[in-house]
Amino acid sequence: MKRITVQTEDNYPIAVHHFEPEVPTGKVFVIAPGVGLPQRFFFNFASWLSEQGCSAYTFDYRGIALSKPTILKGMKASYRDWTLGDFTAVTKHVKETHSEDQLLFIGHSFGGNSLGMSTAFEAYGSFLTVGSQFGYYKHFPLKMQAVILGGFGILAPILTTLMGYFPSKWIGLGEPLPSQVMLDWGYFLLKKKSMVGLATEYGNNHYHKLTRPMLIISIDDDNFAPKKAVDILAEKVFINAATKRMHLTPSDYGLAYIGHNDFFRKRHQEQLWPIVTDWFNL
């Protein structure tokens, strides 16, 4: 594992880690994280990919973990910056470094949701998403609808206004977030057009341009990406991609729980990670 810094077009330093294989197979992965999840969460998974002969890259969006400034309060950063700036810069670096190799994409939650918010997707041959969904709250179960309305409609905006950033850890939502990132997250959840609407407002709606193979995974006990919301993502957002849907039930894999994040935990290497092996022909 090697840590590097990638500069964005607007000169922001993004912390990146490269996991190099001993015997390269010519396949290179970029792992795009969910909101509030630091890249270190994916280190075991990226290391496993390198053991399969693949290069793997993890990164933190600006304002998160190793890519955050000394003072987060008042930081100007948005989903537009995360996609057009950070993900695009990481993709460009990987493409230039591995110009003869095949680039492949794995996105968790927002990482997959955001694919159409820049043209960086053009560098990748195929995609896999886990827990990515069309986030409009009315596609969630009633209990989660209430949580989303209370959390993102009331509590999060108040906390963000008071603190100058969103203290996500206070309510169990991962790393602290820049204010506009929180507001954009709320847009995804509260507005009927979700990410498509926000991408359109930012002038960067490219979802219809994705045409390559994409495996879209949902998990039966994932409260943050219910099957209905993931189905809508596949059917009505990535409308021209060669999508394949897979819905996982924990008991089918001898597991009591998977949830929103645990697909990528090392303890599920034997049960779940072969899905990645099969999809990408590793």
Neighbour tally for 116: CB within 10 Å: 21
* pLDDT above 90 for 169: no
pLDDT at res. 174: 86
- Please state the rounded mean pLDDT for residues 239-248: 98
Number of domains in the chain: 1
Q: Return d(Cα 203, Cα 183) in angstroms, integer.
A: 17
Q: Return d(Cα 212, Cα 42) in angstroms, integer.
A: 24
- Give the pLDDT band (50/70/90) at residue 170: confident
Full residue range of the structural domain in which residue 248 is found: 2-280
The torsion region of residue 202 among left (phi > 0), alpha (psi -120 to 50) and beta comes to: alpha
pLDDT at res. 217: 98
Q: Return d(Cα 107, Cα 122) in angstroms, integer.
A: 15
DSSP state of 38: -
Q: How many CA atoms lie within 13 A of 161 on its CB side?
A: 7
- Please state the rounded mean pLDDT for residues 123-127: 98
- Give the pLDDT band (50/70/90) at residue 72: very high
pLDDT tens digits along 2-29: 999 999 999 999 999 999 999 999 999 9
- In this structure, are residues 190 and 148 in contact, taking their beta carbons and an 8 Å threshold? yes
Q: Which positions ≥6 away from 80 have C-beta within 8 Å?
A: 117, 184, 202, 204
Q: At what angle do helices 179-190 and 142-150 cross, to 10 degrees?
A: 150
The pTM (predicted TM-score) of the whole model is: 0.96
DSSP state of 15: E
Torsion angle defined by CA atoms of residues 184, 190, 193 and 199, in that order, rounded to the nearest 10 degrees: 0
- In this structure, are residues 45 and 151 in contact, taking their beta carbons and an 8 Å threshold? no
* Residue whose pair of structure tokens reads 């396949």 in the numeric block: 27
Q: Considering only CA atoms, which of 92, 86, 77 is closest in space to residue 111? A: 86
- In this structure, are residues 103 and 95 in contact, taking their beta carbons and an 8 Å threshold? yes
* Residue whose pair of structure tokens reads 């993900």 in the numeric block: 87
CATH number reported for the structural domain that contains residue 244 in this entry: 3.40.50.1820
Q: Return d(Cα 237, Cα 44) in angstroms, integer.
A: 31
- In this structure, are residues 77 and 34 in contact, taking their beta carbons and an 8 Å threshold? no
Measured in whole angstroms, the distance separating CA 240 from the mean position of its chain's CA atoms is: 20
3 state SS of 104: strand
Q: How many CA atoms lie within 13 A of 93 on its CB side?
A: 23
